[in-house]
Amino acid sequence: MKKKKPSSGGYTDLHAKCGITTSLPELETWPNQFSGYEITIEIPEYTAICPKTQLPDFGTITLHYMPNKACVELKSLKVYIHAYRNIGIFYENAVNRILEDLVKACKPKWAIVTGVFTARGGLSSTIKAMYPK
């Protein structure tokens, strides 16, 4: 008797990869003048689209990092985060993508990006990605 493969709920590889390579505005930086301090930026109005249901997702994204030679410029961060509004992307992918883009832009000593997403269907999610891994 063959074992039945578990259902993935109709999710495809296309759903899973959605939004990962979408073009987004560039994160700009400015030269850091000090060392040994931490920056925490809270973004309480994150929105994106679920790639499967096309329903909006809402959450708070928190960036916490120790700058090295550059700091992320806040206006460019705001424009970058607001660009997610029209992208189909899963929570997990968004948090990891934000971390990758932050690290690429300002090369911090370390960074943590946390996404706390509002409840949907009685479930809420918190996703945390860290650099270095």
Residue 122 pLDDT grade (very low, low, confident, very high; cuts 50, 70, 90):
confident
DSSP annotation of 9 reads: T
Between the CA of residue 5 and those of 1, 2, 90, what are the distances in Å? 13, 9, 23
Query: Reduced to 3 states, what is the DSSP secondary structure of residue 64?
Result: strand
> pLDDT at residue 7 above 80?
no
* pTM of the shown model: 0.91
Catalytic annotation, pick one of 13, 18, 57, 101: 57
The tokens of 122 are what?
A: 């009685």
Q: Are strands 70-72 and 29-31 parallel, antiparallel or unpaired?
A: antiparallel
pLDDT in tens, 8-33: 677 888 888 889 999 999 999 999 99
Nearest-angstrom CA–CA distance, 36 and 26: 26
39 CB-near residues (< 8 Å, 6+ apart): 63, 64, 65, 66, 67, 71
Catalytic residue flag (residue 18)? no
The tokens of 39 are what?
A: 């920056």
**65 carries a ligand binding annotation:** no
Residue 2's pLDDT is: 52
**In the chain, where the domains are located:** 27-131
Catalytic residue flag (residue 57)? yes
- What is the fold of 27-131? GTP Cyclohydrolase I, domain 2 (3.30.1130)
Nearest-angstrom CA–CA distance, 49 and 89: 6
